[in-house]
Chain A
Amino acid sequence: NAGVTQTPKFRILKIGQSMTLQCTQDMNHNYMYWYRQDPGMGLKLIYYSVGAGITDKGEVPNGYNVSRSTTEDFPLRLELAAPSQTSVYFCASSSQPGLAGGGGGTDTQYFGPGTRLTVL
Chain B
Amino acid sequence: GESVGLHLPTLSVQEGDNSIINCAYSNSASDYFIWYKQESGKGPQFIIDIRSNMDKRQGQRVTVLLNKTVKHLSLQIAATQPGDSAVYFCAENNAGNMLTFGGGTRLMVKP
Instruction: State the A residues within 8 Å of B (CB).
Output: 4, 31, 35, 40-45, 48, 50, 58, 90, 92, 94, 97-98, 100-106, 108-114
Contact status A43-B44, CB under 8 Å: yes
Residues on B lying within 8 angstroms of A by beta carbon are 29, 31-32, 34, 36, 41-46, 49, 51-53, 89, 93, 95-99, 101-104
Q: Which of A90, A102, A108 contacts B31 (CB 8 A)?
A: A102
Count CB-based A-B contacts (< 8 Å): 75
- How far apart sit A41 and B103, CA to CA, in the bound complex (Å)? 5
Complex Cα distance A92/B32, Å? 17
- Does B52 lie within 8 Å of A102, measured CB to CB? yes
Contacts A41-B104, A42-B89, A100-B32 given; indicate if A106 touches B99 (C-beta within 8 A): yes
Known: A42-B89, A100-B51, A103-B31. A109 touches B99 (CB 8 A): yes
